[in-house]
Amino acid sequence: HVDRQKFVYDFTEGNRDLKDLLGGKGANLAEMTNLGLPVPPGFTITTEACKEYLASGEEPAALRDEVGGHLEALEQKMGKKLGQADDPLLVSVRSGAKFSMPGMMDTVLNIGLSDKSVQGLAKQAGDDRFAWDSYRRLIQMFGKTVLGVDGELFEDALEKAKDAKKVTVDTDLEAADLKKLVTKFKKIVKTEAGRDFPQDPREQMDLAVKAVFESWNGERAKLYRRQERIPGDLGTAVNVCSMVFGNLGPDSGTGVAFTRDPASGHQGVYGDYLQNAQGEDVVAGIRNTVPLAELEQIDKKSYDQLMQIMETLETHYKDLCDIEFTIERGQLWMLQTRVGKRTAAAAFRIATQLVDQGLIDETEALQRVNGAQLAQLMFPRFDEDTKVEKLARGIAASPGAAVGKAVFDSYTAIKWSRSGEKVILVRRETNPDDLDGMIAAEGILTSRGGKTSHAAVVARGMGKTCVCGAEELEVDTKRRRLTVNGTVIEEGDVISIDGSTGKVYAGEVPVVPSPVVEYFEGRMHAGADEADELVAAVHRIMSFADGKRRLRVRANADNAEDALRARRFGAQGIGLCRTEHMFLGERREMVEKLILADTENEREDALKQLLPLQKRDFVELFEAMDGLPVTVRLLDPPLHEFLPDITELSVRVALAESRKDANENDLRLLQAVHRLHEQNPMLGLRGVRLGLVIPGLFTMQVRAIAEAAAARKNAKGDPRAEIMIPLVGTVQELEIVRDEAEQVIAEVQEQTGVELKLALGTMIELPRAALTAGQIAEAAEFFSFGTNDLTQTVWGFSRDDVEASFFTAYLEKGIFGVSPFETIDKDGVGSLVRNAVQAGRATRPDLKLGVCGEHGGDPESVHFFHEVGLDYVSCSPFRIPVARLEAGRAAA
């Protein structure tokens, strides 16, 4: 039970389950306190107080008194008062929301120091230098984060003071120097903020608390929340924590540590320690830290205690934790802990290690990893032992390892890639005009823009490697070169980019295949070295997932090769075989003939030629997937896709006519192209509509499937073909096609003497189909949700156009956090799916239900499909392991 009127919790009152109320930092400080660990006493002001403050613009009336009460209790416990002149209690004011968030206010340390109490602190500690160092830090942090003074002004003054003394590190400044610096800092505050640095300790604390509240609505924090889909109304908590001092001399210090290696997962001592320093020095990199292991020599007692505490934390949280600690004159204090971030490889290893240690079970292990991490492990990567020097580092925007010649415009990218060169497209930033160049390139590198820039969004959508925002690079597109720290890369020079780390290299870095893919391909087995250890962990997690999942996983595959690979990756059938790919190449001519046919005979001839070829394709496919279902989709795309380009052909015919040697066939072709030309081909003559207006087309395909199935049965095989009709909008369309198909199947049975059981079903990819699913189910034995087209038609987005044109803007404005083509839009498209599932099953309880859009391999979407009760998801072969894992996680 949470008391909404209670705004302040002592560290002894909270626990880790109260993250909503106390934020992550506060909840874990409370948890550690209650575990009996040495946490400096303090209290947490709740997110509720923050919300009230933000709503009304002033602190809730009760808050001031409540804080006062907790402060008094704290003062009593510590035996001194906040800012007391002769012996001051000092505190830190630390922000801490439920999720850690860039853009939120930083921490202010040493609150309570003033011109008077600094003297008292010096006397108590017997150390002038320490006291003045703490005071200058307070004015610096308070000035910057609470009063909004430009932090560089303080940095510059500090640098000047060091230069004047000819020293390089701040510890070499003496009390007198620091005292002067304090005077300087106070002047900076006065000029920049237009007010004196507050001398009243309670005022310092209250202002800092308010500043934390207000930072919740800072621009950067708001943008981050929108992008990460963190609700805007959570608010942040504020932690007030009594200070302990790592800057009291060589027997003091501060450090960070992990309970195990966040890169490999191995148990051991991982962390950094800095002697004679306060917390923020470690991250700021002001002086060199030493590896945590050296603390054993420096202070054995604290070291042993720390090891003990880390073990306690791991056992308690049952996971890798990271911690912040400070040692004050030989006394160890814990200042923060949380479940730590880790690499993808470490996530898999740690999960299985914890199972082996008996700390977690299989179900929990599945929650410790995710499909995005698995996908990351499946990308090829650069050889880690590379001798090639790093050129720059940008933002890891879209994973993968790409090597190619640098080109600086799309035109060159296309031209060079057509002649077989591998290229990396380098731009300052990309725009929709670069799309073709991006498609042609192995990878994309930009010097501007973040994770939601055009380059990043489009590259991720295409699954193409991308590093963006590498700001050190000076990209000169006019002179076709880039410069970085004196190195010049000209057009044609080879560069390598790593979309998983953001690193950019000059020259070719060797690429090694992912051991995880080698494993799925069956080329590698669990063994002893580093990579093998990872593979063993992946193997175990996958078997946990397969054991738990209800959803089956099929592949989108059009040929035997893809089908076999999909099987190795664990596919349980094919959910989508696109037959249009079987109409390309040399067969395009036959399709042309079919389209141009004037008479029934001509048309039948063309179909007769296509039939045996189609049949052969299907025989191979059914053999590769023997014993497993194969859903074949009848021809879907508009016919003009099989004809020459209208402009090219018009030019050719016009030229020929001017020479008076136009050929008859070209003229007919041009007529046909004109006849079939559509303004909106995606909404035009395609899918089932083709089957209804081109006589014989669908029946030829059905015959090829049926004959192939019969042939496989005769060869003692186990073909399980399913025939799928695309783009159905109404049950009448399906009924007509269905009647024809059944007749053909009966004929084939008669001719071959083989009994065939071919399921007939439909795609649900138009809103009308979803809305009338109950009727459509009368004529369909299965539904496969075509969520790509369904997303296009529900949103009215043309996928080929919008991703490159305005999606960047939409993402930046936070209209969505992720493209609806990447993750299913649950509220819109998803609700149609949900309703269609219910209506379909109401008509036909044994209706089989699947999805074959891109979403079938997207982690979040897989969870949704599990939840609405589909039977399977189908995705590209490479995504199958991800889908298996996520299906397992969804069910666990």
Active site residues: 454, 852
Of the candidate spans 116-124, 236-244, 477-485, 851-859, the one that interacts with ligand ADP by CB under 6 A turns out to be 236-244
Half-sphere exposure of 283 (CA within 13 A, CB side): 6
In the block, residue with structure tokens 């006062």: 68
Position 236: which residue type? T
What is the nearest approach in angstroms of ligand ADP to the Cβ of residue 259?
17
What is the nearest approach in angstroms of ligand ADP to the Cβ of residue 332?
12
The per-residue DSSP string of 609-632 comes to HHHHHHHHHHHHHHHHTTTSEEEE
Contact 75, 89 (CB under 8 A): yes
The partner residues of 260 in beta bridges, in order of sequence, read 267
The partner residues of 475 in beta bridges, in order of sequence, read 482
Determine the size of the site formed for ligand ADP (CB under 6 A). 15
Alpha carbon 872 to its chain centroid, in Å, reads: 24
What is the nearest approach in angstroms of ligand ADP to the Cβ of residue 103?
12
What is the nearest approach in angstroms of ligand ADP to the Cβ of residue 92?
3
Partner whose binding site includes residue 533, from ligand ADP, Mg ion, none (CB under 5 to 8 Å by kind): none
Beta strands (DSSP E) in 579-705 are 629-633
Partner whose binding site includes residue 789, from Mg ion, ligand ADP, none (CB under 5 to 8 Å by kind): Mg ion
Restricting to residues 744-783, name those near Mg ion by CB under 5 A: 765
Task: Please name the residues in contact with 646: beta carbons below 8 A apart, sequence gap of 6 or more.
Answer: 640, 673, 674, 677
Restricting to residues 257-276, name those near ligand ADP by CB under 6 A: none
* Distances in whole angstroms, Cα of residue 390 to Cα of each of 83, 476, 498, 509, 822: 50, 20, 11, 10, 32
The first and second tokens of residue 662, run together, are 């136009």
Restricting to residues 307-346, name those near ligand ADP by CB under 6 A: 324, 326, 335-336
DSSP, res 429: S
Q: Tell me which residue has its CB nearest to Mg ion.
A: 789
Partner whose binding site includes residue 733, from ligand ADP, Mg ion, none (CB under 5 to 8 Å by kind): none
Angle between helices 588-596 and 664-676 (to 10 degrees): 80
Nearest to 607 by CA among 727, 691, 664: 691
What is the nearest approach in angstroms of ligand ADP to the Cβ of residue 283?
7
The correct pick among 617, 789, 825, 854 for binding Mg ion (CB under 5 A) is 789
* Cα–Cα dist 663/671, whole Å: 13
Phi, psi of 118 (to 5 degrees): -60, -35
**Residue 884 found at the interface with ligand ADP (CB under 6 A):** no
Comparing CB distances to ligand ADP, the nearer of 124 and 831 is 124
What is the nearest approach in angstroms of ligand ADP to the Cβ of residue 576?
47
599: exposed, middle or buried (Cβ count in 10 Å: 0-12, 13-18, 19+)? exposed
The first and second tokens of residue 359, run together, are 């700390």
Position 165: which residue type? K
* Cα–Cα dist 35/518, whole Å: 45
Three-class secondary structure of residue 693 per DSSP: helix
Of the candidate spans 241-249, 258-266, 654-662, 785-793, the one that interacts with ligand ADP by CB under 6 A turns out to be 241-249
Partner whose binding site includes residue 92, from Mg ion, ligand ADP, none (CB under 5 to 8 Å by kind): ligand ADP
* Distances in whole angstroms, Cα of residue 514 to Cα of each of 374, 442, 689: 11, 18, 44
What is the nearest approach in angstroms of ligand ADP to the Cβ of residue 763?
50
**Residue 241 found at the interface with ligand ADP (CB under 6 A):** yes
Partner whose binding site includes residue 565, from ligand ADP, Mg ion, none (CB under 5 to 8 Å by kind): none
Site string for ligand ADP, 13-52 (x = CB under 6 A): ---------------------------x------------
**Residue 636 found at the interface with ligand ADP (CB under 6 A):** no
The correct pick among 400, 786, 877, 881 for binding Mg ion (CB under 5 A) is 786
What is the nearest approach in angstroms of ligand ADP to the Cβ of residue 177?
23
Comparing CB distances to Mg ion, the nearer of 201 and 786 is 786
Q: Tell me which residue has its CB nearest to ligand ADP.
A: 279
Three-class secondary structure of residue 339 per DSSP: strand
The correct pick among 336, 352, 417, 787 for binding Mg ion (CB under 5 A) is 336
Comparing CB distances to Mg ion, the nearer of 264 and 336 is 336
Residues forming contacts to ligand ADP in the complex (CB under 6 A) are 40, 92, 94, 107, 109, 241-244, 279-280, 324, 326, 335-336
Binding-site ranges for Mg ion (CB under 5 A) = 324, 336, 765, 786, 789
